[in-house]
Structure 1
């Protein structure tokens, strides 16, 4: 299946061609109220990529992401979904993407998805240290793949981003002081998924929100749902479908 997705302002090529970097984003869903809410963060006005926009927390995959011990493995169905599409990736990369979503969310929002473990593990350092400090290991077992999107050519940064979702009940630890005037995200807001979009919501963020709203309206999130894949070719942004796990 293919649909053309209109993305204003993405057609002009202002920068030299760059190969997209693998990236991951985490959409946290709060179901405690009558209508689900999702967490969005406002990017600093001085950052290069999408300054001042409300986005889901996320960022590039790092080399160490695949080496971090976990409380539970990523679901096999999630791995299969991540391996679909082009360019192809390996299972180790699928794991890295899922863990990158968790790491970036913890770094940018202070909200960490993890689980306490009785197993003795090496102390985590760097961006993963908050998990060790709280006696946790990252836990990707509750993640679902909602969408994939590749930034069009001509942008200042290009990413091949996988949009994951997780229920807010999976948040096991909160790090204080992460959001402030000089941080990458200067504000966090919980927004009802069917509310009027924020004025500074990026067009792709809005598209992914629409996909998530349809998934939630159909019932609990499942790995066998189709996954939209937004990518640019023929001068336009297109919406293809990656079939969910049969």
Structure 2
């Protein structure tokens, strides 16, 4: 193995640092029945290059065709505005909306949960018309330099009862296994990424402030600066 201090190691470090983050989206699906709030999490397959065998929220990268997915209802105006403005460059409506569409597409592909009415066409990209109106924009996190794969992930929250989702009906997939509901107020015994623990702490704080999670909110951005993870409100 080449030493990280040698020329080869330095080249590899520079290559890792130069990896451009790819847009991604994740859903914190919340079940507030039974006197507590639980969030759905699953274990990433061991074959994954990025975060193998760790428990995460359903989600994944934004695909090129996500902006072409038809939807049943649009994002709340405050959520759309925050998605567009929260960054070094303003996004178009279509690209901002594609992040939310990617989140619900991934929730369906990874957990078998469809949020929205059945699609009118059998050739639709997903078999339902995503309902974006109930999504809350909760956080954004950019994978620090030094990783073989980096993502610029937007985290959404969605209450299962508002979306008319039966919390007992979900399916494991090739992407996420051992799906289970986790009490957000418990310290999970599962192996979770550091950033997931941070986002969970933010979620707890937000629920304590206002259990309805209003759409009008400041959104924390987590990004590396001089080797340290920095939290900035957008």
TM-score by length of 1: 0.82
Counterpart CA distance in 2 for 1:238 and 1:54 is 23
The answer on 1:103 being equivalent to 2:111 is no
* SS of aligned partner of 1:145: strand
Unpaired runs of 5+ residues, structure 2, are 1-12
TM-score by length of 2: 0.86
Candidates 171, 174, 179, aligned match of 2:172: 179
* SS of aligned partner of 1:63: coil
Candidates 150, 168, 182, aligned match of 1:191: 182
Distance 1:80 1:187, change over 3 A: same
Aligned pairs, how many?
Answer: 218
Candidates 203, 214, 220, aligned match of 1:222: 214
Counterpart CA distance in 1 for 2:154 and 2:170 is 27
Counterpart CA distance in 2 for 1:29 and 1:198 is 19
Contact 1:114 / 1:172 at 8 angstroms: preserved in 2?
Answer: no
Counterpart CA distance in 2 for 1:44 and 1:35 is 29
The answer on 1:207 being equivalent to 2:206 is no
Unpaired runs of 5+ residues, structure 1, are 1-12, 132-136
| 1:119-168 Cα shifts (integer Å, max 9, x gaps) | xx443445x13x2xxxxx11111000010000001112100000001011
Candidates 115, 118, 132, aligned match of 2:117: 115
The runs of 4+ residues in structure 1 deviating greater than 3 Å are 121-126, 171-174
| 1:191-228 Cα shifts (integer Å, max 9, x gaps) | 10010223401110010011111111112111222111
Counterpart CA distance in 2 for 1:159 and 1:236 is 17
Distance 1:70 1:172, change over 3 A: farther
The alignment's C-alpha RMSD in Å is 2.2
* SS of aligned partner of 2:67: helix
